[in-house]
Amino acid sequence: MEKARIAVLVSGGGTNLQALLDAERRGELRSGEITLVISNKAEAYALTRAGNAGVKTATVVRGDYPSQEAFEGRIIELLEKNRTDLIILAGFMCILSADFTSRYPGRIINVHPSLIPSFCGRGFYGLKVHRAALDYGVKVTGATVHFVNEVPDGGEIILQRAVEVREGDTPETLQRRVMEEAEWVILPAAAELVCAEILRKKHKGEKI
Ligand code: GAR
């Protein structure tokens, strides 16, 4: 069966990448295959996870390029060479330019560790999101998978899942619960939904 070709962009530990790799292995992600992992950090453990799964990797570091355009140009080159259908941002800690995102409408998705529109946008990433949720005192938080457009965390929502905040939570304990109960569940599920839609469009000869 033909599958959508997925490139995953990462920066760190790569637990969301692992959830995608596991879902593919279990046959839950069946309309897509992870064919490339790109990291903007050479030391990202996500690269080891990709290597262990036999997935091709590349490292593209912003500081090695004279401009954001040149940095993104290298990423685009790798994506094109890979014949990428879907780009998944899984803990990718860079904001991509409108030039980049407008090249791939409906073909970039991101996982964000809150219920958008709370605690999202520029400056809200990683543990900062959970710290902000605890400081505000919300009793429920969660995760969101959404399409990526030119507005940081502003694209159409695909899936969300709520997670309760518990008495005594720290940013670290809350992050872990949000990952386990929400991110690792909805990211593979959303990837399957979008890959199936991309394949449907390809078969009908529609523009993807
Ligand atoms: C995840 O919690 C992800 O939602 C978040 O960074 C973490 C990456 O973990 N992403 C953002 O905050 C993006 N705005 P991982 O490398 O273990 O998947």
118 falls within a domain: yes
Neighbours of 14 (CB within 10 A): 23
Q: CA-CA distances (angstroms) from residue 125 to 9, 23, 110, 131? A: 15, 24, 12, 10
- What integer pLDDT is reported at residue 55 of this predicted model? 98
**What pLDDT score does 41 carry?**
98
Q: Which residue has the tokens 């999202």?
A: 120
- Has residue 152 been placed in a domain? yes
From the CA of 18, give the closest atom in ligand 1.
18
Q: Could you tell me the CATH number of the domain that includes residue 62?
A: 3.40.50.170
CA of 68 to the centre of ligand 1 (A): 21
**10-residue block means of pLDDT along the chain (208 residues)?**
96 98 98 98 98 98 98 98 98 96 98 98 97 98 98 97 98 98 98 98 88
Residues spanned by the domain of 157: 4-203
Within a domain: residue 64? yes
Q: Which atom of ligand 1 is nearest to the CA of 126?
A: 12
**What pLDDT is recorded for position 207?**
79
Longest dimension (CA), the chain: 53
Structural domains counted in the chain: 1
Separation between Cα atoms, residue 162 and residue 178, nearest integer Å: 8
- Dist. CA 170 → ligand 1 center (Å): 16
**Residue 124 resides in a domain:** yes
Q: Residue 196 C-alpha to ligand 1 middle, in angstroms? A: 24
* Residue having the nearest C-alpha atom to atom 9 of ligand 1: 91
Q: What is the pLDDT of residue 150?
A: 96
Q: What distance, in Å, lies between the first and last C-alpha atoms of the chain?
A: 18
> Is residue 170 in some structural domain?
yes
